[in-house]
Structures are given as C-alpha cells and as structure tokens.
Amino acid sequence: MKIKLGIIFPIFLLIFFQSCIVVPQRDYQGFSKSLVFKDNKKWMINKALTDLNSTDAIKFNQNNFDLFNKLSNGNAKTIMDAQKENLIPNKIAYHPSLDELETLKNSTDFDYLVNSYTKNVRDEIANIETELPFQYSKNEAFVIIEVYDLKSLKKIYYQKVSSSQTLEGRKYPSEQTLQEQINRKSSGPNFSYSANQLIFINQKKLLKDISKNAIK
C-alpha cells in the first residue's frame, strides 16, 4: 500500500505542534506591567546573569538590547559601551546593592539599569522521544528582567516568565490497562523543547509583553 507524502507531512506537523505546546507563566511580584519610555530617558542594559553558552548568551543579550533601544528611540546602551564613556565597575551585580546604585547614579547620566537572569532548571527530555522515559521527566526554564531607577535608587519593574514540558514515566506492561496499551501503540513520538529553547521562548514572551505595555 502506498502512502502519499502529502498526507504524512501534515500529520507529522500536527503531532509536532501538539507535542510542543508551551504555556508560559508570568509573575510581576506586584510591580507595574508598564515601563515608561519618555523624555529621552537613558537605559543601561547589563549583561545577563545566565547559564547559556557564550553564543546563546550573546544572542540573548542582543535581543534585550534591541527591544529597549527601539522603545527608547535609540537611548539605550550596553554595559560595555557605557563603560567606555563612564567610570563604572567592570561588573554590575544582578542584585545591585544601594552603594552600587548610588555609584551608577553619581558617575553616569543614565536613568535606568536593566538586569536579566536566566535559569535552566531541568533538561531531561530529548527534542524527540520515540518512547516514554522510564521515569517522570521534565524540561524547565525561566527568564527574569528587572529595572532599577537610578535617580530614586529603587527597583521599579520585575517580570519572570517560566515554562516547562513534561513526560510521564513508562509503565511496565503488567502495570498497564488494556486501554493504556492501545493508546501507547497509537500515540507516536513525543517532541519537546530543550531547556535552552524554553529560555528563548520565555524571553520572546517577556519582551513582547514589555513592548505591548510600554508607555511612550
């Protein structure tokens, strides 16, 4: 019996997209969802505190910079460029102390500091799993962006976006009901995002939310 590729491919895509559905969770910790991009305020974009590899970290940092530079009409600078023009520390902590914020306030003309953090929490599922794993498995990651007002020395923005994908552990044949055995035979392969891929999915959702709620 011949099976046409035109029939198989849409079915494959359907299985792929159903397996890869991700619903990110947001947490603002009570801060406003909106950032104000007015009056030519200047934004310093710090390097992310991240467990991404160097290539992915560069991409992640660039994505952050591109959005803030666009929303501020070109009034954003990376920490590296800011250091070329100002006497500021080589490294700014992800959770800066009051003294560090005062140093930035007194030695630069920037209005805001943007910090970001990524975490690969669990990465236990391959992109393609032809069978269920032997035990419950999960891929999980999150991204946080915080903004500090360098004039008031206070944190004014926080958003965390997290997401995960899971697979239940495999049951031995003796533990399966007849219906479970039938379902398993027809379930097909499972597709998942890696934890690193989830980081970029979370970042995209977070930056889109910042853009959507920006006050300009």
3-state secondary structure of 163: strand
pTM equals 0.81
Give CA–CA dist 181/200, Å, rounded. 36
DSSP assignment of 85-143? HS---S---SS--HHHHHHHHHH---SEEEEEEEEEEEE-S-SEESS--SS-EEEEEEE
CA-CA-CA-CA torsion for 6, 12, 17, 19, nearest 10 degrees? Answer: 170
For residue range 47-92, list pLDDT tens digits in order.
999 999 999 999 999 999 999 999 999 999 999 999 988 878 888 9
Domain locations along the chain: 22-123+139-166+193-213
CA-CA-CA-CA torsion for 187, 180, 139, 190, nearest 10 degrees? Answer: -10
Contact status, residue 48 vs residue 62, Cβ threshold 8 Å: no
Q: How many other CB atoms sit within 10 Å of the CB of residue 7? A: 9
Residue 179 pLDDT > 70, yes or no? no
Query: Which has more pLDDT, 60 or 131?
Result: 60
Task: Quote the pLDDT of residue 16.
Answer: 43
Residue 105 pLDDT > 60, yes or no? yes
What percent of the chain is predicted at pLDDT more than 90? 64
Specify the CATH class of 22-123+139-166+193-213 in words.
Answer: alpha beta
